[in-house]
């Protein structure tokens, strides 16, 4: 673990992990059948990317504790939604259970990190 200062959202470990997971989902979802393009494929890609997007928004809203927590909560919700879509992808036979298990666990860890940030928001918000 490096001790570089966190200057922007891209420096957050949880952002890096969520970006990597979303990129992996994109790669895996390329194998989904054409009939899933506007449903499962679109949903899992959107929710996984929204984890990162909401983290970026949360970072920019650190002036206001409630807004910061709200965006982190949105990110947490999107991570949980992504887990649901992963389960559907496995159940429909679109991705291998082991690939999904690794991603599901990655999102469980992301959720854990987000909850930690929410519970310790004072560490992250900017002083007034």
Residue 120 CA to residue 100 CA, distance in Å, equals: 30
Q: Tell me, what's the pLDDT at 128? A: 78
What is the per-residue pLDDT across 51-103, written as a single tens digit (0 to 9) for each?
999 999 999 999 999 999 999 999 999 999 999 999 999 999 999 999 999 99
Asked if the structure places residue 101 within a domain, the reply is yes
Does position 50 have pLDDT exceeding 60, yes or no? yes
Domain that holds residue 25: 9-123
Asked if the structure places residue 2 within a domain, the reply is no
Residue 92 CA to residue 107 CA, distance in Å, equals: 20
Does position 112 have pLDDT exceeding 90, yes or no? yes
Asked if the structure places residue 110 within a domain, the reply is yes
What is the per-residue pLDDT across 11-47, written as a single tens digit (0 to 9) for each?
999 999 999 999 999 999 999 999 999 899 999 999 9
Contact 120, 65 (CB under 8 A): no
Please give the tally of structural domains in the chain. Answer: 1
Asked if the structure places residue 4 within a domain, the reply is no
CATH of the domain at 71: 1.20.1440.60
Q: What is the pTM of this model?
A: 0.94
- DSSP states of 78-110 as a string? HHHHHHHHHHHHHHTTSS-HHHHHHHHHHHHHH
32-41 long-range CB contacts below 8 Å, 24 or more apart?
Answer: 32/89, 32/94, 33/94, 36/92, 36/94, 40/85, 40/88, 40/89, 40/92, 40/94
Q: Tell me, what's the pLDDT at 22? A: 98
Asked if the structure places residue 117 within a domain, the reply is yes
């Amino acid at each position: 673990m490096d001790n570089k200062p966190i200057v922007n959202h891209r420096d957050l470990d949880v952002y890096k992990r969520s970006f990597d997971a979303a990129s992996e989902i994109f790669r895996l979802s390329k194998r989904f059948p054409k009939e899933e393009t506007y449903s499962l494929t679109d949903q899992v890609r959107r929710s996984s990317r929204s984890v990162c997007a909401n983290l970026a928004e949360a970072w920019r809203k650190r002036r206001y504790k409630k807004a910061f927590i709200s965006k982190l909560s949105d990110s947490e919700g999107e991570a949980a939604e992504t887990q649901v879509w992963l389960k559907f992808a496995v159940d429909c036979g679109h991705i291998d259970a082991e690939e999904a298990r690794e991603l599901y666990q990655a999102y469980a860890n992301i959720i854990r990190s987000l909850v930690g940030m929410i519970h310790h928001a004072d560490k992250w918000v900017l002083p007034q």
